[in-house]
Amino acid sequence: MADAPNDPRTQRAPRKAPLSYRQAGVDIDAGAEVVRRIGRLVERVRRPEQLDALGGFAGLFALPPGLEDPVLAACTDGVGTKLAVAQAAGRHDTVGIDLVAMCVNDLVVTGAEPLFLLDYVATGRVDPDVLESIVAGIVEGCAQAGCALLGGETAEHPGTMAPSDYDLSACAVGVVERKRILGPDRVREGDAIVGLWSSGIHANGFSLVRKALLSAEHAGLDLHDVPPGFDRPLADVLLEPTRIYVRPVLAVRDLPGAPLHAAAHVTGGGIVENLPRVLPGHLSAHVDLTAIPRPRIFDLVAAQGVPADEMARTFNLGLGMALFVDADAVDDVLACLRDGGADAGIVGRVRPRGTDGRAIVVSS
């Protein structure tokens, strides 16, 4: 018995138009254009240890010659919700510097010289102009740190991110002679704490910054506003890039007598959480906040009802990096930093830890 004409088993599905990756939201041609543009930029920070050009499946990098007992150091980080400010302001040229800074500043506190960086950019839609601007900032950061941009990845995530949204992350790799590794085992009672000043908020605490300054229930400021007491729009102040401390820290590391014992990058957790990370259990850091030049932006945030203790455990408050150095070499250290163009000063001392067990004592 023949099938009925309208039997669904014999009916064919209507022919559909061809479906492409572009229709699904991924533009391969735009991605290729980004790679072409990036290729021109990264040549600026190429190091002699690189063995191949950008575009391979993996970057190849030789260890610098002359090392006796090399130890690799590696770290990874991102920029966080500072990116929301950059995207709202339509300014993408500085967050790449932040990305590099957050990685290499963590790296150099071990005593390691950064060798190369690998970046990752995820976006809802590849915009070659925006991506080129971001990577130009990454290259500038690498130039400041003296490291190569060895490779990276750009991923388009249609349907999971808004077209104009993006997120950044990176990892950095460096090298240090084993005998020159910095850390708690080198810190001594009486060591001076030398501060390297920050350029502003850097890239930590922006969820609180945005809540305090940009939300309607608090300050309700617009990024284009010039707040009272400031001489430029709020967007410029908030997007001031993180200062990169690699060159001054390595210069102090290389001083005769090895006066640099440890270093702390003041990032998430602020002053009170980061300095104890490089202290042995029997010592504490005594820090005088009045010795640190405090950028006005912190006072603007605090004025929205953020208590002093919350400020100290969230922000750098002007202290971007702390160096723990031999007290007898302080003058040499400060002269070295001054000759290198770094702004610095003594902010405290290392003392025996009290019976209360506090690893840091902050005075203001």
Looking at 137, 159, 180, the residue that finishes a domain is 180
Looking at 156, 180, 204, the residue that finishes a domain is 180
pTM, two decimals, is: 0.90
Dump pLDDT digits (tens) for 213-225: 999 999 999 999 9
What is the residue-wise DSSP string for 321-344?
EEEEE-GGGHHHHHHHHHHTT--E
Residue 78 sits in a domain of what CATH number?
A: 3.30.1330.10
For residue 191, pLDDT over 80 is answered with: yes
Sheet holding 344-352, edge to edge: 260-265, 319-325, 192-197, 344-352, 283-288, 360-363
**Residues near 11 by Cβ (< 8 Å), separated by ≥ 6?**
none
- Name the average pLDDT for the chain: 92
Residues 190 and 246 in one domain: yes
For residue 26, pLDDT over 80 is answered with: no
Cβ atoms of residues 305 and 232 within 8 Å: no
Rounded Cα gap, residues 287 and 183, in angstroms:
19
Looking at 130, 159, 180, the residue that finishes a domain is 180
Dump pLDDT digits (tens) for 231-277: 999 999 999 999 999 999 999 999 999 999 999 999 989 999 999 99
Q: Percentage of residues in the chain with pLDDT exceeding 90? A: 81
For residue 35, pLDDT over 80 is answered with: no
For residue 339, pLDDT over 70 is answered with: yes
For residue 25, pLDDT over 80 is answered with: no
Q: Which of 312, 337, 298 is nearest to 192 (CA)?
A: 337
Residue 250 sits in a domain of what CATH number?
A: 3.90.650.10
Q: Residue 358 to residues 241, 351, 364: CA-CA distances in angstroms? A: 32, 11, 17
**Run of H or E including 350:** strand 344-352
Residues 41 and 160 in one domain: yes
Task: Evaluate whether residue 1 is within a structural domain.
Answer: no
Range of the domain at 98: 28-54+68-180
Q: Which residue has the higher pLDDT, 40 or 159?
A: 159
Task: Evaluate whether residue 16 is within a structural domain.
Answer: no
Residues 298 and 312 in one domain: yes
